[in-house]
Structure 1
Amino acid sequence: MAHAIWSGTINFGLVNIPVRLVTAVRDASGVHFNFLHDEDEGTLHNERICNECGKKVSWEHVVRGYPFKKGEYVVVDDEDFQAAAVEATQSIDIVQFANEDEIDPMLYEKPYYLEPEKKAHHAYALLRTALAESGKVGIARVVLRSREHIAALKPSGDVLVLDMLHWKTDVVDVGTLELPKPASKAASARAGEMKAANMLIESMTAKFDIGEFHDTYHEKLMALIDRKARGKPMPKLKKARPRATNVVDLADVLQRSLAATKRKRTRKAAA
């Protein structure tokens, strides 16, 4: 049975559905290392050194400070955090329903599975089916680890998924970026370039299957670690090929890309 990190109820009008919150994604490709002393492979530990007095500071003298001016801090203690904390309601309160395409993909943070208690199977299935048939998602508030979150509740096959959302203030304004201004169709690109770009997009279009993609860096790194652990010789490093830094004829590059894509598809079909 999957480990639940939270339990509570989905509040859907006057309907209460007891559920368990289970992590839906994990960092399966992450590789973690320890810092070692190169002479004896002893593990290294971080020390807390004060930049004012230069002394090592024990945990009992560590406090948290918020920088409100350059070089000036407001010290915040446990009581301050408790005063700001929201009430842990142990509930997922649906406050409205909305079309999923109204949610900016940039807002999605992390998904969780919702598993119902046995006594709530009927109500769970009812809500799952109603959401699927309506094409709507539930917008809910939930308190998790002393923090209030806004989330989207939606069906995914047989399971209800609670997608935690970023608050609007969390997303960086694109206005801070230097981007090309929108141009008219006549001025945006020559007809040949646009035609070639559309043809290239069409030739590279395929049904998306995440299972066909692999974390090649992780696979190669783990293979290298395995070779080192078994005392095998390391492969020679390949020199990186220089990349073109200046596109002279965009239409020509697009046409060559299109031809290369067609050759690749032909070889794949023949395999």
Structure 2
Amino acid sequence: MIHWFSYITSEHSEYILIFISLISFLESFIIIGSFLPGMILMSILGTFIGSKKINFYYAWISSTSGCLLGDWLSYYLGFLCSNWIIRCHLFKKYNSIVVKAIYALNKYSVPSIFFGKLLGFTRPIIPVLSGMLKVPIKTFLIPNLFACILWPIIYFFPGIITSIVINSPKIKQNSLFKWLMLSVPILAWIIIVLLWKWWREEFSTNRLWLNRYINKTFFLLIISCLLLTISIFQLQYYPELNVLKNLIYNIII
């Protein structure tokens, strides 16, 4: 797959942005996104951004456009064709996720739409469920817009960092620095998942406030945040970080 991407970027660079938009669209469209390895595909594209074979801003805009088109079309289809979608075999297959997503949308519409976009297992179903549940268009569009802007950056980032680390002799010589850098996106991803889980958990109304919100997920979230903070703090003592910052700056600017 990497060789195929290399061929496209070198021989048919005019099509790569269309391909990025298409991947982002399919990742966001109803159930189809559940079958695509979005994290892998976007990370691979990120490696080409890191090696400057693809312009960062062009890729970002293309991906965001595909996300918005896929999400808004899914919302529209959910709004108009809810009866047909409910009877769809693929929709029934993911019934457990659908039930949890419906609960989250009914109770916390805005954060569910925003965080649901960032998680692979809810990304393709949150927009169509929002349409089926008749979530007001303004309530859906605002968090969805910000999530679609943020989503490509989060998914491109591991590939960009990997490409820089591999191609920079000054960085790849220090293995401890590389592991610390790897821990940052992994911990950030874990935090997003835990935050979503903590937010949507159904708490018993007859419990005290502390028992309702200070639970196992909350403590795992705090531990993950502390580990991420420690990793970021430790990275400040490595001169390789300045090299990495300059390389990222050159890619973005």
Give the number of the structure whose residues are more often strand, by fraction: 1
- Larger gyration radius, structure 1 or structure 2: 1
Under a length normalisation based on structure 1, what TM-score does the superposition of the two structures give? 0.22
* TM-score where L is the length of structure 2: 0.23
More helix by share: 2
